[in-house]
Structure 1
Amino acid sequence: MDTDILLSELNLDITDENQAIAKSLINESEDIIINSVDSKVPKNLFENNSIFNRAVKTLATDLYYNRTLPNGLSLGTQMMINNLKGVDFSGTSTE
C-alpha cells in the first residue's frame, strides 16, 4: 500500500517523517490482519483485495490516533477480518 494514500486519508502533509510513520503503521497493520486471517497465505495474494486494503487503512488509522488500542480492534476492522476469513485466496469461494 502506498504511504501517500494513507497520509492523504489522515489529512497529513507528505513529509519524510510522516511517510516513515505511515510505512510503519501500514506494515504493522498488514501483519496483524494477515495473521488474523491466515498467516499461510502469501501477502501478495491479499494485496489485490479491496477489503484487505480498507482493513489495513482502518487499522493504520486506529493505530495512528491511539497506538495502544486499549479497546482492541474496532468493530469495523473485526468485520473486515471476518469477511476476509471467508475468502479463498486461491481464487474460489469457500461457500
Structure 2
Amino acid sequence: MALVTSQELADELNIDTDDAELKTVDSLIDSAKAMIQSSIKLKITDADILAVNEPLYNRLIKTMATSLYYDRELSTGYSKGVMIMLTNLRAEVLGVYNA
C-alpha cells in the first residue's frame, strides 16, 4: 500500500520538479488528504483508507491536488468527478468501519 507522492503527481501533471514546486505539490496533497478524511467523518488514517481502496484514494488525492494546483480557492467547488469519487470512497470506508 503506497500513498501517492509529490514526484508522481508532478510527473503526471508534467510540471517542473524543482524543490520549491515539489514542496507546493506535497502541500496540496496534504490538503487533499485532509479534505478527504474530514468528509469521511471518522478518525481514520491514510493506511486505513488505503486498505479499503488504494487506487480510488490515490486517484482522488491526485484529482483534488490537481484542482488545488490550478485553483487554490476551488472557486467553482469540487468537480463532478471528485464528488463521485469522494462519495464512493466515503461509502466504502463507512461500510467497512461501521459494519
TM-score higher than 0.5: yes
Alignment root-mean-square deviation, CA = 2.2
> 2 CA distance for matches of 1:50 and 1:67?
24
In the alignment, which of 76, 81, 87 is matched to residue 82 of structure 1? Answer: 87
| 1:1-95 to 2 correspondences below 5 Å | 1-48=4-51, 49-88=54-93
Are residues 40 and 57 of structure 1, via their aligned partners in 2, closer, same or farther at CA, if it must alter by over 3 Å? same
| Structure-2-length-normalised TM-score | 0.83
The one-character-per-residue Cα deviations of 1:9-35 (angstroms, maximum 9, x if unpaired) are 111121101110010000000000111
Q: Name the % identity.
A: 31
Q: Which ranges of 4 or more aligned residues in structure 1 deviate by more than 3 Å?
A: 88-92
- Normalising by structure 1, what TM-score? 0.86
Q: Which has the higher contact order (CA 8 A, sep 6+)?
A: 2
How far did residue 47 of structure 1 move?
Answer: 3.1
Which residue identity does 2:65 align to in structure 1? Answer: A
Q: Unaligned stretches of 5+ in structure 1?
A: none
Unaligned runs of 5+ in 2: none
What's the CA shift for 1:40?
A: 1.6
Contact 2:49 2:93 (8 Å CA) reproduced: no
Paired residues in the alignment total 94
